[in-house]
């Protein structure tokens, strides 16, 4: 499978504000991109984990840090299923 590269420009001021190293910031940015795509239902947890550079279990364990549920059904769907 062909891999693509995404480049994002940011200043050292971002690193100073966050008190993070370049490596820490870039690792977290990758995770947050994967997390948001997963949260929006655009990609599976497995694909999100690969994008973040983690295994699926590690990815799912970290979802709670950002109040994201590992269950991607919406509330209406869950209520409907519970009434069956």
Residue 34: exposure state from Cβ atoms within 10 A (0-12, 13-18, ≥19): buried
Residue 60 within any structural domain of the chain: yes
Residue 64 within any structural domain of the chain: yes
Number of structural domains in the chain: 1
Domain of residue 70 covers 12-82
Model confidence pLDDT, tens digit, residues 20-59: 999 999 999 999 999 999 999 899 999 999 999 999 999 9
Residue 5 within any structural domain of the chain: no
Residue 3 within any structural domain of the chain: no
Model confidence pLDDT, tens digit, residues 3-13: 899 999 999 99
Residues with Cβ within 8 Å of residue 56, at least 6 apart in sequence? 45, 46, 49
| The model scores a pTM over 0.85 | no
Residue 52 within any structural domain of the chain: yes
Tokens for 16? 């100073």
Q: Is residue 44 within 8 Å of 51, Cβ to Cβ?
A: no
Residue 21 within any structural domain of the chain: yes
Residue 43 within any structural domain of the chain: yes
Of the pLDDT bands very low, low, confident and very high (cuts 50, 70, 90), residue 81 is low
């Amino acid at each position: 499978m062909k891999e693509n590269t995404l480049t994002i420009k940011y200043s050292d001021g971002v690193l100073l504000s966050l008190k993070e190293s370049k490596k820490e910031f870039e690792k977290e940015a990758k995770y947050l991109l994967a997390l948001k795509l997963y949260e929006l239902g655009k990609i599976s947890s497995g694909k999100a984990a690969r994008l973040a550079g983690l295994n699926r279990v590690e990815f799912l364990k970290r979802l709670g840090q950002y109040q994201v549920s590992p269950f991607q059904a919406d509330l209406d769907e869950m209520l409907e299923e519970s009434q069956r």
